[in-house]
Chain A
Amino acid sequence: MKRLFIYLKEYRRECVLGPLFKLFEAALELFVPMIMASIIDRGIPSGDRGYLARMCLILILLGAVGLLASVTAQYFAARAATGFAARLRRVLYIHIQGFSYGEMDRMGTATMITRMTSDINQVQSGVNLTLRLLLRSPFVVLGAFVMALLLDVQAGMIFAVVIPLLALVVFLIMRFCVPLYRRVQEHLDRVLGITRENLTGIRVLRAFRRESNEIQEFDSENRDLTTMQLRVGRVSALLNPLTYVIVNLGLVVLLYTGALRVDAGILTQGVLVALVNYLSQILVELIKFANMIVAVNKAVASGKRIASVLEVPSGLSSGQKHAADGPAVKFDRVSLTYKNSGEPAIRDISFQAEAGQTIGIIGGTGAGKTSLIRLIPRFYDATEGCVSVFGTDVKEYDLQELRSLVGIVPQKAVLFQGTIRENLLWGREDASEEDLWEALRIAQAEVFVQEKEDGLDALVEQGGKNFSGGQRQRLTIARALVRRPRILILDDSASALDFATDAALRSALRKMPDSPVIFLISQRTSSLLHADLILVMEDGVVVGQGTHEELLKTCEVYREIYESQFRKEGAK
Chain B
Amino acid sequence: MSWFVLKQVFSYLKKYWFLLLFSFLFAAITVALTLYVPVLTGQAVDAVIGPGQVNFSALQAVLFRIVVCVGGTALGQWLMNVINNRIAYRVVQDVRDKAFRHLQVLPLKYVDSYSYGETVSRIITDVDQFAEGLLLGFSQLFTGVATILGTLGFMLSIHLGITAVVVLVTPVSFLVASFIARRTYSMFQLQSETRGEQTAFVEEYVGNQQVVQAFSRERKALEQFDEINRRLEKCSLNATFFSSLTNPCTRFVNSLVYTGVGLVGAFAVIRGAISVGQLSCLLSYANQYTKPFNEISGVVTELQNAFACAARVFDLIEQPAQSPDPDPAMSLNADGSVKIEHVCFSYVPDKKLIEDFNLSVRPGQRVAIVGPTGCGKTTLINLLMRFYDVNSGEIFVGGTEIRMATRSALRASYGMVLQDTWLKNGTVRENLSMGKPDATDEEIRAAARASYADSFIRRLPQGYDTVLSEDGGSLSQGQKQLLCIARVMLCLPPMLILDEATSSIDTRTEIKIQQAFAKMMEGRTSFIVAHRLSTIREADVILVMKDGKIIEKGNHETLLAAGGFYAGLYNSQFAT
Contact B262 A59, beta carbon cutoff 8 Å: yes
Convert A456-480 into 0s and 1s, putting 1 for each residue whose CB lies closer than 8 angstroms to a CB of B: 0000001101011111011000010
Docked Cα-Cα span, A99 to B205, in Å, equals 12
Contact B506 A218, beta carbon cutoff 8 Å: no
A319 contacts the other chain (CB 8 A)? no
Contact A118 B233, beta carbon cutoff 8 Å: no
B427 contacts the other chain (CB 8 A)? no
Contact A496 B124, beta carbon cutoff 8 Å: no
Contact B267 A276, beta carbon cutoff 8 Å: no
Min distance, Cβ A376 to any Cβ of chain B, angstroms: 11
Contact B198 A117, beta carbon cutoff 8 Å: yes
Convert B5-37 into 0s and 1s, putting 1 for each residue whose CB lies closer than 8 angstroms to a CB of A: 000000000000000000000000000000001
Convert B231-250 into 0s and 1s, putting 1 for each residue whose CB lies closer than 8 angstroms to a CB of A: 01100110011001101110
**Do A71 and B222 contact each other (CB < 8 Å), given the known contacts A255-B41, A276-B45, A468-B374?**
no
The count of residues in chain A whose C-beta lies closer than 8 Å to any C-beta of chain B is 183
Contact B507 A211, beta carbon cutoff 8 Å: no
B411: chain A residues at CB < 8 Å are 206-209
Min distance, Cβ B493 to any Cβ of chain A, angstroms: 10
B418 contacts the other chain (CB 8 A)? yes
Contact A524 B507, beta carbon cutoff 8 Å: yes
Instruction: Give the residue of B67, B407, B506 whose beta carbon is less than 8 angstroms from that of A249.
Output: B67
Docked Cα-Cα span, A468 to B74, in Å, equals 64
Contact A499 B573, beta carbon cutoff 8 Å: yes
Q: Which of A40, A96, A404, A561 has the most CB of B within 10 A?
A: A40
Q: Which of A67, A241, A465 has the most CB of B within 10 A?
A: A241
CB contacts under 8 Å to B, within A75-102, are 75, 77-79, 81-83, 85-86, 89-90, 93-94, 96-101
Contact A204 B422, beta carbon cutoff 8 Å: yes
Contact A74 B208, beta carbon cutoff 8 Å: no
Docked Cα-Cα span, A211 to B105, in Å, equals 8
Q: Which of B105, B284, B531 has the most CB of A within 10 A?
A: B531
Closest to A418 in B: B224
Contact A259 B54, beta carbon cutoff 8 Å: yes
A108 contacts the other chain (CB 8 A)? yes
Docked Cα-Cα span, A123 to B245, in Å, equals 20
Instruction: Give the residue of B210, B419, B437 whose beta carbon is less than 8 angstroms from that of A469.
Output: B419
B252: chain A residues at CB < 8 Å are 63-64, 66-67
Min distance, Cβ A343 to any Cβ of chain B, angstroms: 8
Contact B195 A117, beta carbon cutoff 8 Å: yes
Contact B471 A403, beta carbon cutoff 8 Å: no
Contact A414 B507, beta carbon cutoff 8 Å: no
Closest to B73 in A: A244
A504 contacts the other chain (CB 8 A)? yes
CB contacts under 8 Å to A, within B116-130, are 116-117, 119-121, 123-125, 128
Contact A44 B266, beta carbon cutoff 8 Å: yes
Contact B202 A44, beta carbon cutoff 8 Å: no
Contact A203 B418, beta carbon cutoff 8 Å: yes
Contact B387 A206, beta carbon cutoff 8 Å: yes
Among the 9-residue stretches A156-164, A363-371, A511-519, the one with 4 or more Cβ atoms under 8 Å from chain B is A363-371
B424: chain A residues at CB < 8 Å are 197, 201, 205
CB contacts under 8 Å to B, within A422-474, are 426-427, 429, 448, 462-463, 465, 467-471, 473-474
Docked Cα-Cα span, A128 to B241, in Å, equals 10
A492 contacts the other chain (CB 8 A)? yes
Contact A416 B214, beta carbon cutoff 8 Å: no
A462: chain B residues at CB < 8 Å are 115-116, 200, 204
Docked Cα-Cα span, A564 to B190, in Å, equals 61
Contact A213 B52, beta carbon cutoff 8 Å: no
**Do A568 and B45 contact each other (CB < 8 Å), given the known contacts A85-B233, A207-B385, A214-B104?**
no
Min distance, Cβ A101 to any Cβ of chain B, angstroms: 6
The count of residues in chain B whose C-beta lies closer than 8 Å to any C-beta of chain A is 173
Docked Cα-Cα span, A59 to B286, in Å, equals 14
Contact A78 B240, beta carbon cutoff 8 Å: yes
Docked Cα-Cα span, A492 to B505, in Å, equals 10
Instruction: Give the residue of A74, A112, A502 whose beta carbon is less than 8 angstroms from that of B248.
Output: A74
A312 contacts the other chain (CB 8 A)? no
Contact B59 A500, beta carbon cutoff 8 Å: no
Docked Cα-Cα span, A479 to B212, in Å, equals 12
Contact B576 A503, beta carbon cutoff 8 Å: yes
Contact A248 B37, beta carbon cutoff 8 Å: yes
**Do A230 and B85 contact each other (CB < 8 Å), given the known contacts A241-B78, A269-B49?**
yes
Contact B267 A204, beta carbon cutoff 8 Å: no
CB contacts under 8 Å to A, within B295-347, are none
Closest to A339 in B: B474
**Do A255 and B63 contact each other (CB < 8 Å), given the known contacts A213-B437, A222-B93?**
yes
Convert B211-226 into 0s and 1s, putting 1 for each residue whose CB lies closer than 8 angstroms to a CB of A: 1111111101110011
Contact A370 B45, beta carbon cutoff 8 Å: no
Docked Cα-Cα span, A183 to B252, in Å, equals 40
Min distance, Cβ A566 to any Cβ of chain B, angstroms: 11
Instruction: Give the residue of A56, A470, A523 whose beta carbon is less than 8 angstroms from that of B374.
Output: A470
A499: chain B residues at CB < 8 Å are 531-533, 569, 572-573
Docked Cα-Cα span, A508 to B435, in Å, equals 43
Contact B476 A241, beta carbon cutoff 8 Å: no
Contact A370 B476, beta carbon cutoff 8 Å: yes
B256 contacts the other chain (CB 8 A)? yes
Contact A411 B59, beta carbon cutoff 8 Å: no
Q: Which of B50, B93, B120 has the most CB of A within 10 A?
A: B120
Contact B112 A465, beta carbon cutoff 8 Å: yes
B263: chain A residues at CB < 8 Å are 52-53, 56
Docked Cα-Cα span, A233 to B572, in Å, equals 70
CB contacts under 8 Å to B, within A198-247, are 198-211, 213-215, 218-219, 222-223, 225-226, 229-230, 233-234, 237-238, 240-242, 244-245
**Do A365 and B506 contact each other (CB < 8 Å), given the known contacts A90-B226, A237-B82, A276-B45?**
yes
Contact B240 A105, beta carbon cutoff 8 Å: no
Contact A416 B204, beta carbon cutoff 8 Å: yes
Among the 9-residue stretches B95-103, B396-404, B520-528, the one with 4 or more Cβ atoms under 8 Å from chain A is B95-103
**Do A273 and B276 contact each other (CB < 8 Å), given the known contacts A366-B476, A366-B478?**
yes
Closest to A268 in B: B50
Min distance, Cβ A572 to any Cβ of chain B, angstroms: 6
Docked Cα-Cα span, A117 to B373, in Å, equals 38
A36 contacts the other chain (CB 8 A)? yes
A363: chain B residues at CB < 8 Å are 506
Docked Cα-Cα span, A200 to B115, in Å, equals 10
A414: chain B residues at CB < 8 Å are 208, 210-211
Min distance, Cβ A225 to any Cβ of chain B, angstroms: 7
B162 contacts the other chain (CB 8 A)? no
A320 contacts the other chain (CB 8 A)? no
**Do A78 and B237 contact each other (CB < 8 Å), given the known contacts A71-B245, A113-B117?**
yes
A282 contacts the other chain (CB 8 A)? no
**Do A379 and B575 contact each other (CB < 8 Å), given the known contacts A191-B124, A204-B422?**
no
A104 contacts the other chain (CB 8 A)? yes
A27: chain B residues at CB < 8 Å are none
Min distance, Cβ B66 to any Cβ of chain A, angstroms: 5
Contact A32 B85, beta carbon cutoff 8 Å: no
**Do A483 and B437 contact each other (CB < 8 Å), given the known contacts A218-B100, A492-B477?**
no
Contact A105 B474, beta carbon cutoff 8 Å: yes
Contact A110 B202, beta carbon cutoff 8 Å: no
**Do A241 and B73 contact each other (CB < 8 Å), given the known contacts A365-B505, A496-B500, A523-B505?**
yes
Instruction: Give the residue of B41, B51, B412 whose beta carbon is less than 8 angstroms from that of A262.
Output: B51
Contact B416 A207, beta carbon cutoff 8 Å: yes
Contact A263 B248, beta carbon cutoff 8 Å: no
Apart from the given pairs A237-B85, A262-B51, A284-B291, 4 other A-B contacts in the complex at a CB distance below 8 Å: A64-B252, A240-B77, A245-B70, A498-B569
Which 10 interchain pairs have the tightest Cβ spacing?
A470-B373, A365-B478, A63-B255, A237-B81, A265-B51, A233-B85, A70-B248, A241-B74, A86-B233, A495-B503
Instruction: Supply 21 A–B pairs (Cβ within 8 Å), ascending by A.
Output: A44-B269, A66-B255, A78-B240, A83-B233, A97-B205, A113-B120, A116-B206, A204-B484, A210-B434, A255-B41, A263-B52, A276-B41, A276-B280, A411-B504, A468-B378, A469-B378, A469-B500, A495-B500, A500-B568, A503-B572, A561-B507
